[in-house]
Amino acid sequence: MFLGEEPIHIKVERKEDIAPIVLMPGDPLRAKYIADVFLSNAKLVTSVRNMLGFTGEYKGHKVTVMASGMGMPSMMIYAFELFHYFNVQKIIRIGTCGAVAEEAKINEIILSDSVYTESNFAYTFNEYKDHVVYADSKLNANILESASALGMDTRVHKGMLTTMDVFGPYIDYDRVLERIPKEYKILGEEMEAFALIHVANSFHRSATAMATVVDSKFSDIVLSIEERQESLNDMIRLALESIIK
């Protein structure tokens, strides 16, 4: 294994520029949006390959918002470097997903208590042979408590996500869902959560994933840009309130 003294994909002036608690959207521009709108004294701390990371304050707590890019390989790179080189303790992924269960409606939030994948990602990473990983229960409890305090509890569905190696809307993902063992109740599909949680568990750190439902196989609703942003704002606020606890 090659591990240099410095990370390859995150470059900061000082290691203290990365906070011990991190929100991870996929999109670098969403990271910038979160920093601009929700954090005070926010500063761009890393921009290698335009994968932007910002550190600022939320209610007096130092928080980093670091983009992950798309897919498990990209998520693995940034999660690994945050845990290994910067001793990050908690990460919440905040992203979007497609609902594959009728109870998860457009604009609602799926909170992962577990994530299934048929990928060999974890076996390649460290010979973990199972296809399910489990999110941090304490972090999830904080999220549910915060959701109740914010009046969002009816919009949050805790359950299983599935992480896919391909973008679901571009394939017939029903055939993939059919292959998932029947004892697993999948609420939504996305592309990064399994990698984050597996890397976190491997480092004995805390991580979970939240995803706003932006499309559903049970709905023809197409959100406007404004509607999508409002829903994402609710998830961002929920994540920030939860991670500082």
Residues annotated as part of the active site: 215
The answer to whether residues 62 and 71 touch, using CB atoms and an 8 Å cutoff, is no
Tokens of 236: 């961002």
Reduce the DSSP state of residue 148 to 3 states and report it: helix
Instruction: Provide the β-strand partners of residue 56.
Output: 63
**Residue recorded with tokens 């199972």:** 130
Reduce the DSSP state of residue 144 to 3 states and report it: helix
Q: Which residues contact 207 (CB under 8 A, 6 or more apart)?
A: 79, 90, 91, 92, 93, 135, 136, 139, 196, 197, 199, 200, 201
Of the chain, the end-to-end C-alpha distance in Å amounts to 35
Alpha-helical segments (H) within 127-224: 137-149, 173-179, 193-202
Tokens of 93: 């992924």
Eight-state DSSP code of residue 153: G
